[in-house]
Amino acid sequence: MESQTHKEGSNTILTLSGEIDFHVSPKVREAVLAGLDEGQNLLVDLSGVSYIDSSGIASLVEGFQHAKGKSLSFALLGVRDGVMSVLKLTRLDKVFPMFDSVEAATAANK
């Protein structure tokens, strides 16, 4: 699992790729919380993530909650089928804002 954070305008973008399971999710959690420490809205790019387990989902949920606490927005980008079905099963597909591109996400935040 690879993770990369960079800033783009008013957003911080955290790009994850590979598979996220409980061996790796602590790193995801750290990356998400660190990303929010930048003080900008956080977009988590999951277009490179083929599989995510519930520990990974839990890390995202915690990140979302954390963002709310800081009055920042938190959204997911490029959610693939495999990940989407897990989000649907856990009914989190209605909770996370999801977009296809950075532009769409930025537009929604205005």
Partner 1 sequence: MTQATSGNAVIEVENLVAGYGDRTVLNGITLSVDSGEIRVIMGGSGSGKTTLLRSLLGLKEIAAGSIHLLGKKFHYGYPKHMSEVRRQMGVAFQGGALFGSMTVGENIRLPLREHTRLDENTMRIMTRIKLELVNLAGFEDLMPSELSGGMIKRAALARAIILDPKLLFFDEPSAGLDPITSAELDELILRVRDATKTTIVVVTHELESALKIADRITVLGKGEVLMTGTVEEIRNSDDSRIQDMLNRRPREEDQDPEEYLRRLTTMQH
Asked if residue 91 binds partner 1 (CB under 8 A), the reply is yes
**What is the residue whose two structure tokens read 């989000």?**
87
> Coil, strand, or helix at residue 90?
coil
Q: Which is nearer to partner 1, 7 or 23 (CB)?
A: 23
Say how many C-beta atoms besides its own lie within 10 A of residue 61's C-beta: 17
Select the residue interacting with partner 1 from 2, 8, 50, 89 (CB under 8 A): 89
- Footprint on residues 43-62 left by partner 1 (CB under 8 A): 53-55, 57-59, 61-62
Is 102 exposed, middle or buried, given 0-12, 13-18 or 19+ CB atoms closer than 10 A? Answer: middle
Residues in 63-82 at the binding interface with partner 1, rule: CB under 8 A: none
Number of chain positions touching partner 1 (CB under 8 A): 21
In DSSP terms, 42 is beta-bridged to 12, 74
Residue 3 touches partner 1, criterion: CB under 8 A: no
CB of 9 to partner 1, least distance (A): 30
**Counts of helices then strands in the chain (DSSP H, E):** 4, 5
Binding site for partner 1 (CB under 8 A): 21-23, 25-26, 29, 53-55, 57-59, 61-62, 85-86, 88-92
